[in-house]
Structure 1
C-alpha cells in the first residue's frame, strides 16, 4: 500500500510541477511530460480502472497544456487532479478495508463515532 501511495503522490507532484513551470513562463514541450507519462505507466500496472482512467485524464491535460497550439493556460488541471485524487483515495480505502477483512461501508461508519467506555 505504501508503494502505491508513493507512486500516486509522485504522479500528482509531477503534474503540479509541470503546470507550475508553464504558469511561470516555461517553454511548452512534450518532453516536459516524460516523467509524468513514465509514472502513468507504473500506475497502469497496479491501479484500478477508475484510477488509471483518472490518471489518463491528468496526462491528457498535461499534453494539451504543453501543445504548441494551446494558447491558454490549462484551466482543467485542478478538476482532473481532483478526480484522480478522489479515485486514488477511494481505491486505497477499499484495499485497506479488504485487507482488514471488513467491508468499506462498515469502516466509514466508524470514522465519525465517539468511543464509549465499557
Structure 2
C-alpha cells in the first residue's frame, strides 16, 4: 500500500472516534486496519485500541480535521465543566477559571493541531 496512512490510538475511545469519522467521510475512500484487544466483561467483544487509516492525502486531511474538531470539542466540554464547578464552589474561582478557559480557547484556535501537522509536513 503506497497511499498515505495515519495511526490513531485513544485507548477505549478509539472506536467511538473512528465511528464519528466514518459517519462524515465516505469509507469507500479509506483503508482501515484496527488493532484489537480482548475486553474483560460479559460481552467479551474486542475493543479497538488503535487504528491505521489509509487513503488519499485529501481524504486523510479531512479525517485529521474531523479528529481535531472532535478532540477540541471534548477539551472545551471539560473546560466548561471545570468552570461550572468553579462557580459552584465560589464565584471568584469560577471567574478565574473562565478567564483561563477563554485564553486556552484563543491559543487553541491560533495554534491548532492541524496547523502544527501542516507546518511539520511542509518542513
Shorter-chain TM-score bucket reads 0.3 to 0.5
Task: Give the TM-score taking structure 2 as reference length.
Answer: 0.35
TM-score, structure 1 normalization: 0.36
Q: Which has the higher strand share?
A: 2
- Hey, which of these two has a bigger chunk of helix by percent? 1
